[in-house]
Amino acid sequence: MRTRLLAFCLPFVLATPAAAQDLMEDMHRDVTEVQTKFVDLARAIPDSVYAWRPGVARSVRETLLHVASDNYLIPIAMGKPAPAGTGISATDMATLATYEKRSLTKEQVIAELEASFAHLHEAMGLTSDHNLVEIIKFFGQDWTRQRVMVLTVTHLHEHLGQMIAYARSNGVTPPWSR
């Protein structure tokens, strides 16, 4: 186990530069890493499990689409509107439920997830270390761009943990844990 832990941690230790990086550079790196895990896990989960849900919680499909929907919703506050084809609006939360409840195939869900992460990275490009303290409206409240970025990353990790639990509950080992 210790050897596996060292093998897992070593690339992160070696990848850390001697000089401090920009916060947004770190945010992009983290979102890219969580994106890879989401997509790899979505591919590893069998089609037959996409409708599975623990009790009244979101199904596997709905959770993946929830991540995608928020990858479109949160950037609206950053100044990047959601693509019209998503139907997502920051002023009508019912549009999120409609997006998440669609009956898509596994391949379509993965495509939506990948497209939403590309959109999120574009939106993140509107925030730099120089404008992190800029006040923007988020759900009608004043937030800094930095606070929105922190929410974005924590939200993604929250749902990645949820998806790991969903996968393991269905006998699927996350690909990066093998």
φ, ψ at 38 (rounded to 5°):
-60, -50
Q: What confidence score (pLDDT) does residue 7 get?
A: 53
Domains of the chain: 56-178 (1.20.120.450)
Strand partners, 92: 89
Q: What are the tens digits of pLDDT across the range 118-137?
A: 999 999 999 999 999 999 99
Whether 137 contacts 14, CB under 8 Å: no
Residue 63 pLDDT greater than 60, yes or no: yes
Determine if the pTM surpasses 0.95.
Answer: no
pLDDT of residue 164: 97
Task: Tell whether the torsion through CA atoms of 74, 80, 86 and 89 is positive or negative.
Answer: positive
β-strand 135-138 against 141-144: which pairing, if any? Answer: antiparallel
Sort residue 139 into left (φ over 0), alpha (ψ -120 to 50) or beta.
Answer: left
pLDDT, tens only, 11-26 = 554 455 544 468 999 9
Cα of 94 vs its chain's centroid, Å: 20
- 156: tokens are 């993604």
Largest CA distance in the chain: 50
Q: Where are the beta strands (DSSP E) in the chain?
A: 135-138, 141-144
User: Quick check: 87 pLDDT over 70?
Assistant: yes
**Residue from 153, 99, 96 nearest 124 by CA:** 153
Q: Which residues contact 157 (CB under 8 A, 6 or more apart)?
A: 34
For 66, the enclosing helix (H) or strand (E) is helix 60-78
Give the pair of three-digit tokens for residue 167: 């996968």
**pLDDT higher than threshold 70 for residue 159:** yes
